[in-house]
Amino acid sequence: MKKLTFVALFFLCSTVASAGIVSLNFSGLQTEEKVLNYYNGGTGGNGSGPGPNYGIYFGPDSIAGVSSAAGGADNNFNQPSGSSTCLYFLTGSGDLMDVPAGFTTGFSFYESGPIGGTVSVYSGLDGTGTLLSTLLLPATPFGSTDGGLVNGYYSVWDPVGVTFSGTAESVLFSGSANYIAFDDITLGSPNPGPGPGPVPEPATLLLLGSGLLGFAGFRKRMK
């Protein structure tokens, strides 16, 4: 996962602490735990939390993946956030993030996986309303295997980003189920997490992903 960049000024109701950079690295959640209300000051599907109260909800298909190198059950490794936890989905159309108070300008994050996917920004909750922007995500190459604890297909992370007009209330992170992961989902900055770094153009991202679909046989989760 390298880079997916979205700039977002976060206007949450009374629950949000001022407009600033909010970055989600999913640490604090257990391996294969549903995120749910963790970032709304609530708990994840296994009871982890309460998490930070950012007024952000995740759909029931959104799952935290903890690296097997850190005692979890997943192949993610070498994440830019420094966390051993990422976001992915096993069923459904993708990881859905709702922000009822809305956000503007853009949004950012990192993605990784041997197939790639898309990210769509909507003006309404639950992926409804006007489609404000869509990004095509590249497949990422094979990387570090950490001595065999992880298979290397989720250790290279691409940063990707988009700006848009209007106010967004939801984002759908999609791709082939179990073959794409996300980290450092960031509202309030054009770059994911604390690092600066340039934002690649969508056309460049597509070129980076060409020729890598042959790795589809490798599942994200450890068997």
Q: CB-hemisphere CA count at 13 Å for 166?
A: 12
The long-range contacts involving 12-18, CB below 8 angstroms and separated by at least 24 positions, are 12/54, 12/55, 12/99, 12/100, 12/101, 13/55, 13/100, 13/101, 15/40, 15/41, 15/53, 15/54, 15/55, 16/53, 16/54, 16/55, 16/101
Q: Which two tokens stand for residue 188?
A: 């309030």
CATH number of 4-217, picked from 1.10.3470, 2.40.170, 2.60.120, 1.20.58: 2.60.120
Domain ranges (residues) in the chain:
4-217
**How confident is the model over 179-212, as pLDDT tens digits?**
999 999 988 777 787 644 334 443 333 333 333 3
Report cis status (omega within 30 of 0) of the bond before 50. yes
**pTM (predicted TM-score):** 0.78
**How confident is the model over 6-56, as pLDDT tens digits?**
333 333 333 333 346 789 999 999 999 999 999 999 999 999 999 999 999
| DSSP H/E element including 203 | helix 202-208
